[in-house]
Amino acid sequence: MSIKIKAAGVTKVFASRTGPVYAVRNFNLAAEEGEFVCIVGPSGCGKSTFLRILGGLIAPSSGEVTLAPGGAQVPLQNMVFQEYAIFPWKTVVDNIAFGLEMRGVQKAERQEIALDWIRKVGLAGFANSYPYQLSGGMKQRVSIARAFANNPEILLMDEPLGALDAQTRVVLQEELVHLWEGARKTIIYVTHSIEEAVLLGDRVVLMTAHPGTNKSEFAVPFERPRQFALTSTPEFGQLAYAIWKDLEGEVKQAMEQQL
């Protein structure tokens, strides 16, 4: 296995009226090719900022980020945004085909790929709807499908299931596990849910409260392929609880910061 993503000493400082704000501070992360890494941390600790740095949308103030291209004819990385960021002026199918269109894939081919993904995320019948006609959870699925349809080597996913109801969430978690076990992309997956991180990830990386840096890491030893039934085992509960105990103090600190 080779290292696909390496972030060393990543720090991001934003200028604000009250002085500099550290969004992330000296954060380190390495992910192997095909690894599913979950990042969990209290709200405002800098997870989205870190993902934006990985995605090349903002530059770090200091530190270094390397994504190793695999040389295949596919994009290196794509993001699933916390705010969905699907285009209100494009239909569902055109949104999902967006990356393919930018890469110059012919219309017939990209339609076919997009329609396939529409079915996989359970949006059949909404291909020609505009985002304003969709619920929050449906928009989020469009944004997930847009990333998968573009078939990148690395997926950077920022709370991709955050806006879903608990039941749909379970269905899509299983679907995600299934997709990933089939395609073995390198995934950095930000989530608020410890259970989700344990169910999906090979490894859970915890961040401290704002300004976020490395808190600790947990390997997730469970066999694949995984199913939702895993969440009802004692081992699963024990690991999730251990992670929560480790994170609890940070979450409380983050809540106090916000008061």
Partner 1 sequence: MKHRPQFNVETRDRLLPIGFPILLLLLWEIAVRLTWLDARFFPAPSTIITALVNLIVKGELLGKLWLLPGFISTGDWAGVLKVFAEGHLWISLYRIFAGFVLGAVPGIALGTLMGMNRTIRIALEPVFSALYVLPKIAILPLVMLVLGIGEVSKIAIVGIAAFFLVLFNTMAGVRDIEVIYLEAGRNYGANRWQLFRHVILPSASPFIFVGLRLSLGTALIVIIAAEFVAARYGLGYLVWFSWQTLLTENMFAGLIVIMVLGTLFTSGLHALERRLVPWQREERRMPMDASEMQRQSAKS
Selected from 59, 85, 183, 255, the binder of partner 1 by CB under 8 A is 85
Q: CA triplet 137, 143, 148: central angle to 5 degrees?
A: 125
Selected from 1, 2, 16, 73, the binder of ligand ATP by CB under 6 A is 16
- Per CB under 6 A, which of residues 194..223 are in contact with ligand ATP? 210
x/- letters, 136..175, toward partner 1 (CB under 8 A): ----------x---x-------------------------
Q: Could you give the CA distance from residue 158 to residue 113 in angstroms, rounded to a whole number?
A: 23
On whether the CB atoms of residues 205 and 197 are closer than 8 A, the answer is: no
Q: Any residues with CB less than 8 A from the CB of 162 and at least 6 apart, and which?
A: 82, 140, 191, 192
> Under rule CB under 8 A, how many of the chain's residues touch partner 1?
26
Nearest approach, Cβ of residue 46 and ligand ATP (Å): 4
Nearest approach, Cβ of residue 187 and partner 1 (Å): 15
x/- letters, 39..78, toward ligand ATP (CB under 6 A): --x-xxxxxxx-----------------------------
Q: How far is CA 73 from the centre of its chain?
A: 23
For every residue of 207-228, DSSP letters joined together read EPSSSB-EEEEEE----SS--G
**H/E element holding 15?**
strand 3-16
On whether the CB atoms of residues 123 and 150 are closer than 8 A, the answer is: no
Nearer to ligand ATP, 44 or 137 (CB): 44
102 binds partner 1 (CB under 8 A): yes
Nearest approach, Cβ of residue 39 and Mg ion (Å): 10
Q: Which two tokens stand for residue 72?
A: 């295949």
- Per CB under 8 A, which of residues 28..67 are in contact with partner 1? 52, 55-57
Q: Could you give the CA distance from residue 259 to residue 257 in angstroms, rounded to a whole number?
A: 6
- Per CB under 6 A, which of residues 71..110 are in contact with ligand ATP? 82
Q: Could you give the CA distance from residue 114 to residue 97 in angstroms, rounded to a whole number?
A: 5
Nearer to ligand ATP, 14 or 228 (CB): 14
Residue found by looking up tokens 């808190």 in the block: 215
Q: Could you give the CA distance from residue 209 to residue 203 in angstroms, rounded to a whole number?
A: 20
Nearest approach, Cβ of residue 51 and ligand ATP (Å): 8
- Residues at the site binding partner 1, with contacts judged by CB under 8 A: 52, 55-57, 75, 77-79, 81, 83, 85-90, 98-99, 101-103, 130-132, 146, 150
